[in-house]
Amino acid sequence: MNPATYLAGLPAFLAYFAVAVVLLAAFAYLYTHSTPHKEWALIKANNPAAATAYGGSIIGFVLPLHSAISNSVNLIDCVLWGVVALVVQIATFLVLRLLIRDLPRRIHDGEIASGIFVAALSIAVGILNAASMTY
């Protein structure tokens, strides 16, 4: 078989991967600006609650992004469903903030239980979000 045949999908791979990286960067930026605590500063200060919560939210976003890439009919479809995943994941934190008193302060103070709970719920919502994208 011709080696070029094996690389025929490379342009599509590069396009979808680039879109995914841009969406991930957009999510990271918007998420950190949607929370009152400063994730990066807290992570640099070795705050495990912040790292756990932020890491879980990233996984919770990437799971449905994977589903959007896998199930999209084209790149625009992928971007639109990626944006849906982004909105759902940021909304998850905002709802949790309403349900858990002083959630940002708890994460800022390094209360690991709060960080783990945010991460677990973010991942759970991400899984449900991904499953819902199997259209």
Domain ranges of the chain: 10-132
Provide, rounded to the nearest whole percent, the portion of the chain with pLDDT above 70: 99
Whole-number pLDDT of residue 135: 66
Of 104, 106, 107, 68, the C-alpha closest to 86 is: 68
Task: Report, as an integer, the average pLDDT of 119-129.
Answer: 98
Task: Report, as an integer, the average pLDDT of 27-49.
Answer: 96
Predicted TM-score of the model (pTM)? 0.92
Separation CA 51–CA 119 (nearest Å): 9
> Is-contact 64 130, C-beta < 8 A?
yes
Please work out, in degrees rounded to the nearest 5, the angle formed at the alpha carbon of residue 126 by the alpha carbons of 35 and 81: 95
- In terms of C-beta density within 10 A (0-12 exposed, 13-18 middle, 19 or more buried), how is residue 6 classed? exposed
Whole-number pLDDT of residue 5: 80
